Amino acid sequence: MTKRLLPIILLSFVNVIGFSILIPVLPEIIQYHGLGDLQSLWYGGLLSAYAFSQFLAAPLLGTISDKYGRRLLLIVSQIGTIASWVIFAAAYFIEPELSIGIFNIPLVIIAFSRIVDGLTGGNISIANAWISDMTTAKEKTKAFSLMGGAFGIGFLIGPVLGGLSAATSYGYLGTVLLAFIISVITLLAIIFYLPESLPKEKRQHNLEIHLWRDINIFNKFYIFDKAPVVKNLLSTRIVFSIIFASFTTLVTLMLEEEYGLSPLGLGAVFSSIGIMAIFNQLVIVPKMARKIGDIKSFYIGLVILCVGLATLAPIPPVAGIFTTIGMSLVVFFVNIYVVNLGITLSLTTFKTIITTHTHESEQGIATGIDDSINALGQGISPIVAGFIYTFITLLSFPLLAILLASFTGHAYLKNRHLIR
């Protein structure tokens, strides 16, 4: 199975690098353009521009792939990613502080580039549909764990590449050029090495594409009518996506402001998180899902995530050796592992749950719904999280834990009679 999935795993690996390469660099880009005093809001806004656009486009692209096949849509979406990096690079050559009213022109161009990438960024949902096409029900959890491992490795390498490329004399232009090259390599890999997973005889040739209906994911929940477990989990999945995106935004701001980390330091921290994700995805998640099942693993992952978020904050300085920032970072990494374990358990098992409860001809719709929900959270959360962090800083983490715990408990009460 691993050999059969290798092309899509490599594709996902390279795509994650192209995304994660920006994580440690965006705060410095905002400061470069003279808006460091609004860093939290701009950082959240740039992340949201990509994610909200993906929220609109992912379900539509997933549906189209059910009609025309996965490979064509992967090629189209990757071309959009390449175009977005060209637009991003153009912002570098404009006067950094050029503004019209309250709008900084280079940052507006960068935001537009993220919108372009988001609108064509259906790679993840289509890749998940490709995997679902190529695996049996028993293979899905392991397959999605392999994808998660590729994500972890990409997340390990991407931030380091971002920090190193931004540290050159080219500044963030070096990061953009590197991301452009990676995206071109990905396109070539799709064209020459990725086979079609959905043969013509299994496609929905009579499927009618309606723009509003297909970008509105809530209209597509009907495919889960015969799967009450999934329907009862959807509200929790939406909240989980909001929590996950908020966590990514908040932890970046915390590491820069509380610990004073540079882009290179941020890259090193996120690379460490990538190592945790690799271990969890390839070792912990498959074993737990095999032993207790996907649904129970999903709930356990949410509980673990709540615990990690509730305790995630720098420890205050204490006398003696504990006054050093090193001890505080040790505690941070312990907590971040707990958070990472909860995230990987929940993400991987939910993908398995929805794909095993839908017909093979609707896998694109199902994975499109899941990734659109995730994108919705990432579209809303960075702006809201940046705003909240401005006022309550580290109390933002326990606030997320309380929100997630309430929805997890509600979903469990509705699903407990369906869990075996």
Which long-range CB contacts under 8 A does 131-137 form with residues at least 24 apart?
A: 131/5, 131/8, 132/355, 132/360, 132/363, 132/366, 132/367, 133/70, 133/197, 133/198, 133/360, 133/363, 134/4, 134/5, 134/8, 134/197, 135/1, 135/5, 137/356
Q: What integer pLDDT is reported at residue 323 of this predicted model?
A: 40
**DSSP-assigned letter for residue 35:** -
What is the residue whose two structure tokens read 């013509």?
200
What are the residue boundaries of the structural domains of the chain, listed by start?
Answer: 2-195+223-415
Q: What integer pLDDT is reported at residue 39 of this predicted model?
A: 65
* Residue 104: φ, ψ to 5°: -80, 120
**How many CA atoms, within 13 angstroms, populate the side-chain half-sphere of residue 360?**
13
Query: Please, what CATH class does the domain formed by 2-195+223-415 belong to?
Result: mainly alpha
**DSSP-assigned letter for residue 100:** E
Residue 293 one-letter amino acid: G
- Break the chain down into helix, strand, coil percent, rounded to 5: 80, 0, 15
Tokens of 176: 């953009």
The answer to whether 83 and 121 have CB atoms below 8 angstroms apart is no
Burial environment of residue 3 by CB neighbours within 10 A (0 to 12, 13 to 18, 19 or more): exposed
Q: What integer pLDDT is reported at residue 318 of this predicted model?
A: 41
- Provide the whole-model pTM: 0.67
Tens-binned pLDDT, residue by residue, of the chain (420 aa): 667 787 788 777 777 777 778 877 887 888 888 766 666 677 777 877 877 787 777 777 777 888 888 888 888 888 988 999 999 999 999 988 888 877 889 999 999 998 898 887 657 778 878 888 888 777 877 787 777 777 777 777 887 888 888 888 888 899 999 989 988 988 888 888 888 888 887 777 676 666 666 566 677 677 777 777 777 777 788 888 888 878 877 887 777 777 777 777 777 787 788 788 888 888 888 889 888 888 889 889 999 999 988 887 655 444 343 444 455 677 788 888 999 999 888 888 887 888 777 776 666 667 767 777 777 776 777 777 777 877 777 778 888 888 888 888 877 887 776 565
Tokens of 74: 């992967």
Q: What integer pLDDT is reported at residue 197 of this predicted model?
A: 83
Angle, CA of 194, 73 and 188, to the nearest 5°: 40
**DSSP-assigned letter for residue 257:** H
* Residue 88: φ, ψ to 5°: -60, -45
